[in-house]
Amino acid sequence: MSMNLYPSFGLLLVDDEPSFLRSLSIALERSGGITHLHRCQDSREVMDILARENIGLVTLDLTMPHLSGEELLRRIVEEHPDVGVIVISGLNQVETAVDCIKLGAFDYFVKTDEQDRLIEGIKRAIRLQELRHENQELRRRFLNDTLERPEAFARLVTDDKGMRSVFQYLESVAPSSQPLLIGGESGVGKELIARAAHELSERPGPLVCVNVAGLDDNVFADTLFGHQRGAFTGADQARAGMIEQAAEGTLFLDEIGDLSMASQVKLLRLLQEGEYYPLGSDRPKRMRARIVVATHHDLDARQREGSFRKDLYYRLRTHQVQIPPLRRRKGDIPLLLDHFLAEAADELGKARPTYPPELPVLLANYAFPGNVRELRAMAYDAMSVHRSRTLSMEVFKRAIDPSQAPPSPTENGATERAVFAPDEPLPTLHEVADLLVHEAMRRAEGNQSIASRLLGISQPALSKRLKKMRESGPEPL
């Protein structure tokens, strides 16, 4: 199996003691999962390696023959300012440490200190370098308004600027091994976004999807971590968990907001330690998959009210995207309608139909609580009963029925209502009725049938009202 190197940039270990280089390399691979390593014993070769390789971080011994660590630090900061430097010295001298930090070192460690502190410091520096690279890449993509891998988003039918921004962000954070949190209402396509993120990452392993809603703590642990033979009654043979099945790939956990508190603790420990224990085993296994999670819940609100752990929430939101609902992407409705009708026609063995021009207008005035999934269901239902050349609108009208549909929610979750200036006189009922009629006709693009449905009145009643308005004077601006 091909190995997916972590991090995406190289880590250069510089020390004239080969035994220290060897022990540090082993510790980084075992404890930190850090495999993208370069080693150098001769300080004179460091600048050539930096010019030749994609190095993002250097650990630098301070006392070496030929070129000292302090001199190398000055040259690296001057010639490669994007490369982070961690100084490792055999001497515990505060003054030297302060001088190195002033010169531009990221951190300073003493060799005789506990190795765990050094490993944690290197992991922390890697995370900061990753975030800096991602920010630079994100800024470049937004400024150029480019998508370098549009094929990764082929399954997502959209022409929306908000969705394009999501795609650009995903391209920027794709190389990261940190968790990705995907938010959005049910039916917006969160699993498709997870698949795109996996494809962009170019990780050699598979994408493994698990819906964790409704899993109790024991089932959650067994599903993710697997078990040894005899771990519990009925465990006749060992079974690999989803984390192991997703090795070198991506593990997608859907509906993460419904996870129990006990399971949240297990997931947090997995993210913090990067290792786990299969049920019935006392030997840890290292996680070699990237975690992507999705939820339709507002996790920020849930952690404030105490139903979701704050520490887990902040771990998961290292990278996050929010998928806009369909009612905020009305320009996508005709594209999606064409796509789903063609897909349904091919699946049902029917000719692709034409549809009345009023249909996209009708759909644009619907809130779509089920989002893209609901529109797809409508299109498939309409195609299943389609017989003539032109598609009937009746299936869509029955599904929508604006007289029973809930009002479209606003950004803060409250229903929209008219707000009148307190220092202005209230309009009369007659004036408000005229304004409603004008707004309905505007939204329906002049189609009286659709406008009457929006107003909850019959079309003859609307025609009568419009005629009376025309006779009474010019339309208000």
What does the pLDDT read at residue 408? 46
What does the pLDDT read at residue 113? 66
Question: Which residue bears the tokens 């930096």?
Answer: 50
Residue 5 backbone dihedrals phi, psi, to 5 degrees: -75, 140
What does the pLDDT read at residue 419? 56
Do the Cβ atoms of 65 and 16 come closer than 8 Å? yes
What does the pLDDT read at residue 197? 96
Which two three-digit tokens encode residue 332? 């996508």
Which two three-digit tokens encode residue 222? 């067994």
Q: What residues are paired with 60 via a beta bridge?
A: 14, 87
Do the Cβ atoms of 87 and 57 come closer than 8 Å? no
- Which candidate, 229, 255, 252, 254, places its Cα nearest to that of 240? 229
CA dist 386 and 382 (Å) reads 6
What does the pLDDT read at residue 223? 93
**Residue ranges of the chain with per-residue pLDDT less than 50:** 1-2, 402-418, 476-477
Hey, what domains does the chain have and what are their CATH numbers? 10-136 (3.40.50.2300), 145-324 (3.40.50.300), 327-400 (1.10.8.60), 429-472 (1.10.10)
What does the pLDDT read at residue 420? 62
**Helix axes of 115-144 and 161-173: crossing angle, nearest 10 degrees:** 150
What does the pLDDT read at residue 306? 93
Taking only the tens place, the pLDDT of each residue in 254-310 is 999 999 999 999 999 999 888 899 999 888 898 999 999 999 999 999 999 999 999
CA dist 417 and 149 (Å) reads 42
DSSP code for 354? B
What's the Cα-to-Cα distance from 157 to each of 150, 161, 264, rounded to whole Å?
11, 12, 34
Taking only the tens place, the pLDDT of each residue in 370-386 is 999 999 999 999 999 88
